[in-house]
Amino acid sequence: AGMEGSGDASRAVADWRLAVWTLCSVLLPVLITAWCSFQRSRRQLLIRDIFRKSKHDWHYTDLFGQPSYCCVCAQHILRGAFCACCGLRVSERCLKKADQRFLCKEIMMRGSGGAPSSMPHHWIRGNVPLCSCCMVCKQQCGTQPKLCDYRCVWCQYTVHDECIVDCLRTEDCTFGEFKDLIIPPYYLSTINQMRKEKRTSYEKVVPYCRKHWMPVIVLANTRSGNNMGETLLGEFKMLLNPVQVFDLRQITPAKALQLCTLLPCNAVRVLVCGGDGTVGWVLDAIDEMKIKGQERYIPQVAILPLGTGNDLSNTLGWGAGYAGEVPVEQILRNVMEADGIKLDRWKVQVTNKGYYNLRKPKVFTMNNYFSIGPDALMALNFHAHREKTPSLFSSRIINKAVYFFYGTKDCLVQECKDLNKKVELELDGERIELPNLEGIIVLNIGYWGGGCRLWEGMGDEPYPLARHDDGLLEVVGVHGSFHCAQIQVKLANPVRLGQAHTVRLILKSSKMPMQVDGEPWAQGPCTVTITHKTHALMLYHSGEQTDDDDASSLSE
């Protein structure tokens, strides 16, 4: 009996041991995971706190795009933080030291008395651009697998460790290739001091007085099209003064453009990174400047197309869409070389029918085109679904695929048929007899529908090129969604209804989809009147070819 009791006791101990070890094997991984998660969250909070308080524009990356070395400990790093303004790269554990030790690009020079007209180089060690050459010996920099060589954050010149001498450390920076586009920090500090003293005679301030100075302001919409705006913001901040680069998620164009009032009259160039809607937003802000009496500060506008359609950008020679294939340096060169032209802007007034209608007419400003019919219906359906699930519409290809889906659907349903029985059209006061149509499109620019030259069509008839600065609108009709698709692949021509200075369209009955520059809505019986509003000063780039024939270039 005693032996049986001791056997039961030993089995009980063995069971307890097994239970304890089983519990430990379950709890230990859970505790380790929880501890690691806590440490990671704590580390992320510390990093965010440093990012928030820092004068650097820090961003975190899980993988650098090229071999990188920490600017503090000089160790090779795969991930860590980088400054989008000055280009510093640092490991996670050295972030705080780097933030305290290194200065970022200064927007304005610190007060040193007087009116400075120059500044020394701002050298950053290591991680120089690939294929860069030393400004002293002209040999390639950054070839050794370690933290080596220097780069100036303003002029972008690079120099070897052994080539840099004391004179280079104190030498005045020339601001390099883009000196005519950069707003120097010493200029802003001088202007700031003059404003405090209530002086506005900026003409003698350097580089205001320099003949070829044409400062550029970059306005980027990071929500446009293919979501490249965030990357472009950083690249432009590296090459220019960060004060010149604005994120339109954080500041409106009207506020950003007030920088023009501190710069030479009629010399500023604005680069809009976004779709046609973003360009329209900026042009509206420029119109507000005219109302405020700031007409002499009006800038000329260039476009970097990030949207889906980009028809205005295509018309002005900036291409049908940007996907990173052109370096940012080349984009700035194109802006410098572009020619100034005018763009007609039109007032679209929509007055609802009805004797007791007391609502004010809806007023839009048109840069590209107005339409009623199948293409407006596609835009309306696309817009409704993008509002519901915006995260799905982050790619230009997906956006065009959705447009194709709704166009195919309308080919079968034909929701806009017999439009000619529902509307009346007047061109410069003359009534136009309409054939059997499903849609009417009123054009201000040469391109429509994401790259199609609608007015010229296939070119088998002698129609003059549509212009965007002649005060004339081109009016065409389409037989349906399938006809629109045929026109886009050059298998058919539109129904050309005429050209006019004023267009009046009366919707007599039912509800129809309408759009102005891609902004759609469903409209009941009304009168639509389109009249000339103003001109916008734009920049035309003659070097960019579109997918249509070279002969149809607007530069002719």
How high is the mean pLDDT in each 10-residue block of the chain (556 residues)?
64 82 86 83 84 92 91 93 94 92 88 71 92 91 91 94 82 92 91 83 76 92 76 93 94 95 91 92 95 92 88 91 90 95 95 74 93 86 64 57 53 68 92 91 88 74 77 91 81 89 92 90 92 95 56 38
Which residue pairs from 38-44 have beta carbons closer than 8 angstroms and sit at least 24 positions apart in sequence? 43/92
Three-state SS letters, 434-501: CCCCCEEEEECCCEECCCEECCCCCCCCCCCCCCCCCCCEEEEEECCHHHHHHHHCCCCCCEEEEEEC
Residue with tokens 């860590």: 80
Quote the pLDDT of residue 238: 94
Quote the pLDDT of residue 117: 79
Task: Determine the Cα angle at 473 with ends 472 and 479, to 5°.
Answer: 155
Q: Which two tokens stand for residue 258?
A: 């007030």
DSSP state of 531: E
Domain boundaries, the chain: 177-192+200-337, 345-534
Ramachandran region of residue 308, left (φ > 0), alpha (ψ -120 to 50) or beta?
alpha
What CATH topology corresponds to 177-192+200-337?
Rossmann fold (3.40.50)
Quote the pLDDT of residue 541: 93
Quote the pLDDT of residue 550: 40
Query: In the CATH scheme, what architecture does the domain 345-534 have?
Result: Sandwich (2.60)
Quote the pLDDT of residue 552: 40
Q: Which helix (H) or strand (E) element contains residue 1?
A: none
* Distance between CA atoms of residues 547 and 451, nearest Å: 7
Buried-exposed string 402-430: b where 16+ CB fall within 10 A, e elsewhere: bbeebbeebeeeeebbebbebbebbbeee
* Mode of pairing for the β-strands spanning 503-507 and 423-427: antiparallel
Q: Which two tokens stand for residue 123?
A: 């050298």
